[in-house]
Amino acid sequence: MPEAAAHPALAPVELAGLRLRNRIIKTATYEGMTPKGQVTQALIDHHAQLARRGVGLTTVAYGAVARDGRTFPEQLLVDEDARAGLRELACAVHEAGGAVSLQLAHCGGFSKLRGPDGAAPRGPSPGFNAYGLAAGVPRIRAMRARDIEAAIDDFARAAQLATEAGVDALELHCGHGYLLSQFLSPLTNRRRDAWGGELTARLRLPLAVVRAVRAAVGEATPLLAKLNLRDGVPGGLELAEAVQVAAALERAGVDALVPSGGMVQKSAFFLLRGAVPVARMAAAQRSRLQGLAMRALMPMIVKAWPYRPAFFREDAEAVLDAVSIPVALLGGVDSSAVIRGALARGFSLVAMGRALLADPDFIERLARGEEPVSRCTHCNECVAEMDRGGVRCVL
Ligand SMILES: Cc1cc2nc3c(=O)[nH]c(=O)nc-3n(C[C@H](O)[C@H](O)[C@H](O)COP(=O)(O)O)c2cc1C
């Protein structure tokens, strides 16, 4: 009997000179394993294990580029104190045969934390910070020109530090309602200066960040960008502009795109789809007040979107057709069949979150010639539980 051909996802691929052993990215899922903002052994083991079980590129989630770029204090802070831990993490992933990417992000006005001067966090425009309400930070202030310049420098410094520590690739978070997404979105960027208004002005900060990061790390480090196809909120970024964003990111020097959608503070379940685990999320809050507020308010303000496999595929195809750099299909990549379809359509990569949490043996099964379908039920309780003992599938 002739041997069955290897699964197409297992073919190696090159990203700006970095050879990945296969096309499967473990996408960023906040690990809840950086209690003081530092790399821990648990975080190292988590990513080494993903590499050991076959992931081509594993993504360390939400590396805050500055102290005031954190949404909450337990997020990994990419500063000097993180250097040794990142080096250890990168070594562990390399020893397991994989490559590691660090998601670089800044939260802008979406934070429970006050700024360094003790005042409200800053975003492109002033506004209400529903996320910070129970933490006593209900307001967003507008960034001044010097805050914007500082954020660009923070991205560049964090990128340099991470690559010096041995991280193979960087993912710039331009989506999900964090700072760069806040600037891109007409809903949250109402500035009338050079950083707001028409799309070209809303693009100015993300593109400045790409160029500064590129200058800091050189040509040899692949830069991925995670971007929104749609914000999933009325008045937010929509697909037609997202396609232009993707093309502009390519022109600025990004090597690969990871299209997603939604704003965590306004449409969190647009990016996840499936169930809204209200009770578990309320139980996971640190204070009783926050838990009660969440239980009362969530059903009114949090919209659910039904899950389906490859839920961003049609929109992501518009991006795929507009650029020539590799594009990863993300969102509900939950079976061998979905992966085969995506690669056949021209996606170079697939990015998987919940399916790899639910099925750590998924890639091993592909390698054995099976056609796995993930057992993830999109209950989204992993999201509610990620702060309590580390991200995992609760099933
Ligand atoms: C527990 C959990 C944590 C997440 N944390 C992050 C994060 O830190 N950064 C990010 O860009 N996306 C985050 N996401 C979103 C995922 O990267 C991904 O966009 C989403 O889960 C859809 O992919 P999937 O259907 O393969 O899970 C998270 C998702 C989950 C389930």
DSSP 7: P
**CA distance readout (Å), 14 to 56, 123, 305, 326, 350:** 11, 36, 35, 10, 14
Q: Is the pLDDT of residue 176 over 80?
A: yes
The answer to whether residue 194 is domain-embedded is: yes
Contact indicator for 198, 245 with CB cutoff of 8 Å? no
Contacts of 192 (CB under 8 A, 6+ apart): none
Q: Which of the four pLDDT bands, split at 50, 70 and 90, describes residue 116?
A: confident
How many domains does the chain contain in total? 1
Residue 1 has pLDDT above 70, yes or no: no
- Which mutation among 34, 224, 272, 350 tests ligand 1's pocket best, with the greatest number of atoms within 8 A of CB? 272
Identify the domain containing residue 263 by its residue range: 8-385
Cβ atoms of 90 and 171 closer than 8 Å: no
In a domain, 391, yes or no: no
Q: Pick from 24, 26, 27, 172 the residue to mutate for probing ligand 1's pocket: most ligand atoms within 8 Å of its CB.
A: 27
Cβ atoms of 22 and 9 within 8 Å: the answer is yes
Looking at residue 354, what is its pLDDT? Answer: 98
Question: Ligand 1 pocket, 271 CB below 6 A?
Answer: yes
pTM of the model: 0.96
Mean pLDDT along residues 241-250: 98
How far apart are alpha carbons 359 and 158 in whole angstroms?
A: 32
* Candidate from 167-171, 213-217, 289-293 with smallest mean pLDDT: 289-293
Give dist(CA 313, CA 347) in Å, integer: 10
Residue 394 lies in a domain: no
Res 173 pLDDT > 90: yes
Is the pLDDT at 106 greater than 90? The verdict is yes
Atom from ligand 1 closest to the CA of residue 385: 1
CA of 2 to the centre of ligand 1 (A): 39
Q: Which of 40, 44, 172, 33 is closest to 102 using CA atoms?
A: 172
pLDDT at position 280 is: 80
Q: What pLDDT shows up at residue 300?
A: 67
pLDDT value of position 134: 83
89-105: pLDDT as tens digits: 999 999 999 999 999 99
Centroid of ligand 1 to alpha carbon of 145 (angstroms): 31
Q: Is the dihedral of CA 172, 177, 180, 181 positive or negative?
A: positive
102 lines ligand 1 (CB under 6 A): no
Within a domain: 319: yes
Task: Establish whether residue 181 lines the binding site of ligand 1, counting it when its CB lies within 6 angstroms of any ligand atom.
Answer: no
Asked if residue 43 is part of any domain, the answer here is yes
**132 Cβ partners below 8 Å, 6+ apart?**
111, 112, 113, 120, 121, 138, 139
Q: Kindly report the CATH number assigned to the domain that includes residue 126.
A: 3.20.20.70
In a domain, 392, yes or no: no
The pLDDT of residue 5 is 84
Answer whether residue 79 shows pLDDT above 90: yes
**Range scoring the smallest mean pLDDT among 162-176, 330-344, 375-389:** 375-389
In the predicted structure, residue 32 carries a pLDDT above the cut 70: yes
In this predicted model, which residue has the larger pLDDT, 254 or 119? Answer: 254
Q: What is the spatial distance between Cα 225 and Cα 246, in angstroms, rounded to a whole number?
A: 9
In the annotation, is 131 catalytic?
no
Q: Where are the beta strands (DSSP E) in the chain?
A: 13-15, 18-20, 24-26, 57-64, 76-77, 99-105, 122-123, 127-128, 139-142, 169-174, 223-228, 256-260, 328-330, 349-352
Query: How high is the pLDDT of residue 340?
Result: 98
pLDDT tens digits, one per residue of 260-310 = 999 999 999 999 999 999 888 777 776 777 777 777 777 667 889 999 999
Q: What does the alpha-carbon distance between residue 111 and residue 137 come to, in Å, rounded to a whole number? A: 8
Q: Counting atoms of ligand 1 from 1, which one is nearest the CA of 28?
A: 17
The pLDDT assigned to 287 comes to 75
Instruction: With beta carbons less than 8 A apart as the criterion, state whether 266 and 177 touch.
Output: yes
Over 90: is that where the pLDDT of 388 sits? no
Q: Which atom of ligand 1 is nearest to the CA of 61?
A: 8
Q: What percent of the chain has pLDDT over 90?
A: 87
Mean pLDDT across the stretch 47-63? Answer: 98
DSSP codes, 286-302: SSHHHHHHHHHHHHHHP
Q: Is residue 143 part of a domain?
A: yes
The CB of 156 under 6 Å from ligand 1? The reply is: no
What distance in Å separates the CA atoms of residue 182 and residue 202, rounded to the nearest whole number?
9
Q: What is the distance in A from the centroid of ligand 1 to the CA of 387?
A: 14
Q: Is residue 393 part of a domain?
A: no
Helices 313-322 & 239-252, crossing angle to 10 degrees? Answer: 40
Q: Ligand 1, atom 14: nearest CA belongs to which residue?
A: 29
CB distance 330 to ligand 1 below 6 Å: yes
- Residue 157 Cβ contacting ligand 1 at under 6 Å: no
Q: Maximum distance among all alpha carbons in the chain?
A: 71
Task: Please say if the pLDDT value at position 233 is more than 90.
Answer: yes
Residue 333: strand, helix, or coil: coil
pLDDT tens digits along 305-357: 999 999 999 999 999 999 999 999 999 999 999 999 999 999 999 999 999 99
The whole-number pLDDT of residue 3 equals: 67
Active site residue: 30, 62, 131, 178, which one? 178
Q: Is any ligand 1 atom within 6 A of the Cβ of residue 71?
A: no
